[in-house]
Chains A and B, each alone.
Chain A
Amino acid sequence: MTELDTFRAETRAWLEENCPESMRTPMPERETPWGGRNADFPNPDTKVWLDRMASRGWTAPEWPAEYGGGGLSKDQARILQQEMSRINARTPLASFGLWMLGPALLEFASEEQKKKYLGEIVRGEIRWCQGYSEPGAGSDLAGLQTKAEDKGDHYLVNGQKVWTSYADQCDWIFCLVRTDSSVKHDGISFLLIDMDTPGVEARPIKLISGASPFCETFLTDVVVPKENLVGELNKGWTIAKRLLEHERTMISAMGMGGGGAASMGGMEAMAKENFGEDGDKIANPAIREAVTNHKMDHQAFALTLKRAADEAKAGQGMGAAASMFKYYGTELNKRRFELLLDVMGTQALGWEGEGFDARELSITRSWLRSKGNSIEGGTSEVQLNVIAKRVLGLPDA
């Protein structure tokens, strides 16, 4: 038995023993384990599962053990993922700290900062949100104006952020702030702010899907200790770009499924339910072709994600792959939901109440939510610009 086989056997046994039964069922959205100071656990098993996984650092399997992570190799992390999938284990922790801030801290933060913040993230104690966009700085993110003034022993922050995910429920915010107004990209710094500080206020924004996953966040004379600066002063754009890659990768993964009930496996079955069967085939040829096209695009995209991962493992880079995946993945996801609407007809157009089951209602809301995928984290048009410039070397106007 190889070391990995042993690891697999031990992992399987541990999961078998420690993953509560109810954590092996599909997760309703309200049970999403976001963690944080005010975390509520409508299902108490969620907390048990989080704590058990965090105790082994397995909420962040590949982070170094000294910062609370699992210290696993890529192969071990993959095995952990496979073994979790095998028993349909839920993710123990959903967290922007894990997905986005953590990797940036590992790369850019001081030793004290890593020690303080990474452990809190692994254990799900602090819920983070991202303060990037501003009302006047969307696609042109580097045009941001939120100002952090040097007041000797602290920064005084004033400005407004927008599209801060779940800011009304978050504990801390990682922000891009302007520390030099005389230059654009080189006048931006990366600052961590405790949202309990006086002067921080978050107001939810209602979206077309009816949900309010984002907020406007107002920062008025907020006092931030100097030690909360990550990396060098005025070098925040470097961190921001790296973090955006993580965000793009995360969002592009949505092209691979998500939306639970609307997962890929169900598409052809739903088409058969709605349009009947001709032999084994979906009886409506136009729908059959559309479903097939979509499934083939999906498979080609999945293979490309796999190839990128394999190439990364072999030490070859795929260039500005993050932008490609973000662009293609989100556009694919939008097409998937539009196709689901075609397949389901008016059953995909219910808003609430009688006449529609939970799955149908969830698809409707996810369809609306998917429209944002190609806007957030840099629009599709921005991704195409990035590819044209950084990968293809096409000149600026």
Chain B
Amino acid sequence: MALVLTEEQTMLRDMAKQFFTEQVPVTNLRKLRDEESAEGYDKAVWQQIVELGFAGILIPEEQGGTGFGPIGLGIVMQEAGRTLAATPLYSTAILGAGLILAAGSDAQKAELLPQIASGELLTALALEETAHHNPKQVAMSAEQNGDQIILSGQKNFVIDGHIADKLIVVARTSGAAGDANGLSMFLVDAKAKGVTITRTHMVDSRNAAIVSFDKVNVPVSDALGPLGAAMAELESVLDLGRACLAAEMLGGIEAVFDTTLAYLKERKQFGVIIGTFQALKHRAAEMFCEVELCQSVVLDALSALDERRNDVPRAVSLAKARLGDAARLISNEGVQMHGGIGMTDAVDMGLYLKRARVQSQLLGDTNFHRSRYAELGGY
């Protein structure tokens, strides 16, 4: 497929750009942070997102969604990333809808997908157990007892954990940490007995939580997909999440780059515009090249998902790794080129820098994806 947006996708992008720029500017995140919002997201904004059809963007029309697919989703995330919009899109519209679509039974789909599309249901994926993403290393136990599953253990870095209505919990029904086999997924009510959710405060002022499970009883019928064989579906949706994160990061680095470039053209020192200095010009030009490469790898990863190409994992790892590196470079340069003012909370550089590091860690950092890329290539 050609690496260009179709007319329909371009219209979606323009609509998303206008919406996030006008309705969810960076000040929206600042407000949530400074007012210590209990939810950590703006309910009115989420309602608008639902009305625009973004919450159900993955969901087929017959289940209440808009069915734009991975490229559409990536386009929306890129625009959301540009303004650091703090919304449950990632936890619910991407991972929640994605996992239910990929692994859910017909009944689960019929019940839950329309609720996601209509904004009634928020979900959160409880996957990580350590400070480094590595799905195979999940150790949390899911013990079967008749028609019940008993979950015991603790999950961290659960994005939107404290606002979710339903948790999607990845736990082990067999095998040991490190095995790809033996993982299962369960839909668990956030209010279920034995579930304790503790909100954590990350540098990016966005939602995350520690969720502990103390002998939580879940009916086997609430398993998402077959017991012990969750890995394939999980990985395919994680790849979708990774590509969308890469798209969100792209929006962020584009915003940092544009803002920094504007500053280079306006700030004067030694009586001249600092953008006339070759030391800065060359670094700006190198960032431009990097942004261009990032645009290509993100679009290719989203296209791979859209077309269900068999190189999805490689295309996605290529994008997630590159965006991790690029976001680090460009957010650092953004602060440096702004000088002292870049270190202050008054300008947005620091917000992008902090968000970039969290995005990079989410679903695998650069090292994880570089190594995965090599492994998939047979070296």
Contacts and interface: CB of A to CB of B under 8 A. Distances in A.
A285 B282 CA distance: 32
A384 B296 contact: no
Contacts, number: 117
Q: Is chain B's interface secondary structure helix, strand, loop, or mixed overall?
A: helix
Interface in A364-397: 381, 383-385, 387-389, 391-397
Task: Report the interface size class on chain A.
Answer: 35 or more
Given A310-B3, A388-B281, A397-B276, A300 B322 contact: yes
Nearest to B372: A292
Interface in A274-310: 280-282, 288-289, 291-293, 295-296, 299-301, 303-304, 306-307, 310
B285 interface: yes
Interface in B241-300: 261, 264-265, 272-273, 275-278, 280-282, 284-286, 288-289, 292-293, 295-297, 299-300
A280 B378 contact: yes
Nearest to A385: B281
A388 B284 contact: yes
Contacts of B278: 385, 397
B276 A387 contact: no
Given A293-B370, A296-B322, A300-B293, A281 B285 contact: no
A50 interface: no
A210 B286 CA distance: 32
Contact of B275 (A314, A316, A394): A394
A288 B261 CA distance: 36
B296 A393 contact: no
B276 A395 contact: yes
Contacts of B373: 292, 295-296
A268 interface: yes
Given A295-B377, A300-B293, A303-B297, A395 B265 contact: yes
Contacts of A387: 285, 288-289
B318 interface: yes
A303 B296 contact: yes
Contacts of A301: 293
A142 interface: no
B189 to A, nearest CB: 42
B375 A304 contact: no
Task: Report the interface size class on chain B.
Answer: 35 or more
A311 interface: yes
Contacts of A395: 265, 273, 275-276
Contacts of A391: 285, 288
B374 interface: yes
Interface in B315-367: 318, 321-322
Given A280-B379, A306-B296, A324-B288, A388 B374 contact: no
Contacts of B374: 281-282, 288, 291-292, 295
Nearest to B378: A280
A324 B292 contact: yes
Contacts of A271: 379
B52 interface: no
Nearest to B276: A397
Interface string A240-269: 000000000000000000000000000010
Contact of A272 (B4, B280, B293, B379): B379
Contacts of A155: none
Contacts of A314: 2, 4
Contact of B295 (A307, A313, A316, A396): A307
B337 to A, nearest CB: 12
Contacts of A293: 370
A32 B234 CA distance: 52
A268 B376 CA distance: 13
Given A307-B295, A388-B285, A268 B377 contact: yes
Contacts of A303: 3, 293, 296-297, 300
A237 interface: no
Most buried by A among B4, B264, B285, B292: B285
Contacts of A296: 318, 321-322, 370, 373
Nearest to B3: A307
A328 interface: yes
A392 B295 contact: no
Contacts of B322: 296, 300
Contacts of A385: 278, 281-282, 285
Contacts of B299: 307
B259 to A, nearest CB: 13
Nearest to B322: A300
Interface in B189-230: none
A172 interface: no
A327 interface: yes
A387 B272 CA distance: 20
- 10 closest A-B pairs by beta carbon, nearest first, are A388-B281, A307-B3, A387-B285, A268-B379, A303-B296, A310-B2, A384-B285, A304-B296, A292-B374, A394-B275
Given A295-B374, A313-B2, A392-B285, 13 more contacts: A268-B379, A304-B295, A306-B3, A307-B4, A384-B281, A387-B289, A388-B285, A392-B281, A394-B281, A395-B265, A395-B275, A396-B276, A397-B272
Interface of A: 268, 271-272, 280-282, 288-289, 291-293, 295-296, 299-301, 303-304, 306-307, 310-311, 313-314, 316, 318, 324, 327-328, 381, 383-385, 387-389, 391-397
Interface of B: 2-4, 261, 264-265, 272-273, 275-278, 280-282, 284-286, 288-289, 292-293, 295-297, 299-300, 318, 321-322, 370-371, 373-375, 377-379
17 contacts: A280-B375, A292-B379, A293-B370, A296-B321, A299-B297, A300-B297, A303-B3, A303-B300, A307-B4, A311-B3, A324-B288, A324-B289, A384-B285, A385-B285, A387-B285, A392-B288, A394-B261
